[in-house]
């Protein structure tokens, strides 16, 4: 008798099989026990019919507790009423691991409770589906950049410098020297681009901000491509093709998970239609003012402004050429204006805000040296970075995509903490 995963049930209709599973819920109508089962690949229903099994098996089915692990034997049948399409008529049950007083009962629970019990909550349908989509986005990311001729590089997690500013850094002691948890792999990717042409880094990044908004995390993962010989418009075209590729692959490979999340696939299909609109920061400010927003030129947009702008176009939109004062020191100056830099944020619709930030990088040694000093950063720490402008610098651009932001948007999830496997809390460091 073959042992199978639930996800493969459709290949074994009318066959007797064995499945290792956990019980997520159950109910009984007197003569039939309905067991809701999961095995890490999918969820479906097991049916125990009293008249067709030994009495002790039927009594066991009624007494099983939530999250008990069991090995079941039974026959697969089609079930068009269920979201999965198949069920198993159970003939035998073997208890493998008992479960008693499982804390996440089928009733409603608050987000903080679920995050504090994340090590258990991962077993439930919503986080299961979100993590499967996250996994597909990661897989598709590697496929996309491999197909585009990129080389994957790994940036250090402990650094001696602060690429995005010193106020948001986690500091630690590195054998008597101060070191910081990395905010970005971008500067290292620039060095890699000068060696390999096109590279990307993918790893954890950290921001020391005590934020509990639904958009922010202190620890998250970033995909950061960097491309030599590429100006900003070419970079924007690459970015939109990358996003469309991710969304299409989730549609193609995660239909079951999207169904579990009640995520409308037709809505997602709109986000694969290119090109995405481009709107200058200047025009964005005017558009916001025309629609009742109290916003002045020179400020960064907040959540309400980003939500309006993306929803206005009903698809992702690039906001380009931000004020120099609110962007990082390495961004290239606009050729016609000293007050803006050649930069872009990609805003996702439906209220999810910025999912990509990027720019063309400045290549002028003296300008970057002055910008580093203006920011109060150490020239000694950035000497290696300035070297990239001394020895054969070329036009180059790059961007960063926050993985959890993208997962949250594509899955239609309300809170970004649900997009990371094991989020931390301020009061408790635990899985």
User: Does domain 118-419 fall into CATH 3.30.930.10?
Assistant: yes
Q: How is the chain split into domains, by residue range?
A: 2-97, 118-419
Q: What is the tens place of the pLDDT at every residue in 331-340?
A: 999 999 999 9
User: What is the reported pLDDT for 378?
Assistant: 87
Query: What was the pLDDT predicted at 424?
Result: 58
Task: Report whether 158 contacts 183 (CB < 8 A).
Answer: no
What φ, ψ does residue 55 adopt, rounded to 5°? -60, -40
Is pTM, for the whole model, over 0.85?
yes
- Average pLDDT along the chain: 93
Q: How does residue 164 score in pLDDT terms, banded at 50, 70 and 90?
A: low
Tell me phi and psi for residue 48, to 5 degrees: -115, 110
pLDDT recorded at residue 217? 81
Calculated CA dihedral for residues 295, 297, 299, 304, nearest 10 degrees: 30
Which pLDDT score is estimated for 426?
36
pLDDT at 171: 87
Q: How far apart are CA 272 and CA 287, in angstroms?
A: 25
The class level of CATH for 2-97 reads: mainly beta
pLDDT tens-digit map of 94-150: 999 999 999 999 989 998 899 899 999 999 999 999 999 999 999 999 999 999 999
| pLDDT value of residue 271 | 98
Mean pLDDT of 345-352: 96
The phi and psi torsions of 402 (rounded to 5 degrees) equal: -75, 115
Residue 393 has pLDDT above 50, yes or no: yes
Instruction: Give tens-digit pLDDT for 83-110.
Output: 899 999 999 999 999 999 999 999 899 9
Cis previous bond, 275, omega within 30: yes
pLDDT tens figures, 234-270: 999 999 999 999 999 999 999 999 999 999 999 999 9
pLDDT at 429 > cutoff 50: no
């Amino acid at each position: 008798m073959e042992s199978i995963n639930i996800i493969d049930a459709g290949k074994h209709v009318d066959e007797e099989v064995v499945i290792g599973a956990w019980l997520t819920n159950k109910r009984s109508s007197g003569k039939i026990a309905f067991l809701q089962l999961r095995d890490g690949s999918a969820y479906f229903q097991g049916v125990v019919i009293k008249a067709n099994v030994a009495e002790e098996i039927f009594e066991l089915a009624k007494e099983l507790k939530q999250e008990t692990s069991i090995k079941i034997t039974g026959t697969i049948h089609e079930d068009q009423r269920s979201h999965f399409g198949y069920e198993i008529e159970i003939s035998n049950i073997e208890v493998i691991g008992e479960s008693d007083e499982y804390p996440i009962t089928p009733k409603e629970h608050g987000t903080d409770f679920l995050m504090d019990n994340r090590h258990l909550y991962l077993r439930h349908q919503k986080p299961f589906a979100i993590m499967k989509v996250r996994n597909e986005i990661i897989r598709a990311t590697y496929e996309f950049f491999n197909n585009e001729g990129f080389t994957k590089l790994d940036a250090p997690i402990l650094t001696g410098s602060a690429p995005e500013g010193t106020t948001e850094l986690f500091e630690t002691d590195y054998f008597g020297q101060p070191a910081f948890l990395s905010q970005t792999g971008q500067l290292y990717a620039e060095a890699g681009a000068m060696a390999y042409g096109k590279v990307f880094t993918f790893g954890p990044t950290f921001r020391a901000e005590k934020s509990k908004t639904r958009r922010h995390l202190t620890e998250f993962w970033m995909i950061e491509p960097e491309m030599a010989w590429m100006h900003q418009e070419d970079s924007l075209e690459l970015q939109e093709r990358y996003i469309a590729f991710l969304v299409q692959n989730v549609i193609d490979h995660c239909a079951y998970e999207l169904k579990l999340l009640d995520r409308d696939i037709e809505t997602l299909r709109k986000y694969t239609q290119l090109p995405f609109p481009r709107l200058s920061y200047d025009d964005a400010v005017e558009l916001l003012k025309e629609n009742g927003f109290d916003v002045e030129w020179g400020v960064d947009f907040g959540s309400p402004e980003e939500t309006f702008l993306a929803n206005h176009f009903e698809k992702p939109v690039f906001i380009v050429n931000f004020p120099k004062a609110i962007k990082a020191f390495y961004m290239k100056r606009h050729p016609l204006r000293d007050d803006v830099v050649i930069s872009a944020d990609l805003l996702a619709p439906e209220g999810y805000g910025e999912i990509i930030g990027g720019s063309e990088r400045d290549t002028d040694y003296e300008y970057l040296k002055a910008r580093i000093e203006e920011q109060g950063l150490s020239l000694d720490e950035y000497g290696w970075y300035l070297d990239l402008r001394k020895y054969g610098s070329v036009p180059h651009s790059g961007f960063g995509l926050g993985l959890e932001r993208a997962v949250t948007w594509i899955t239609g999830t309300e809170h970004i903490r649900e997009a990371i496997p094991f989020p931390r809390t301020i009061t408790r460091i635990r899985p």
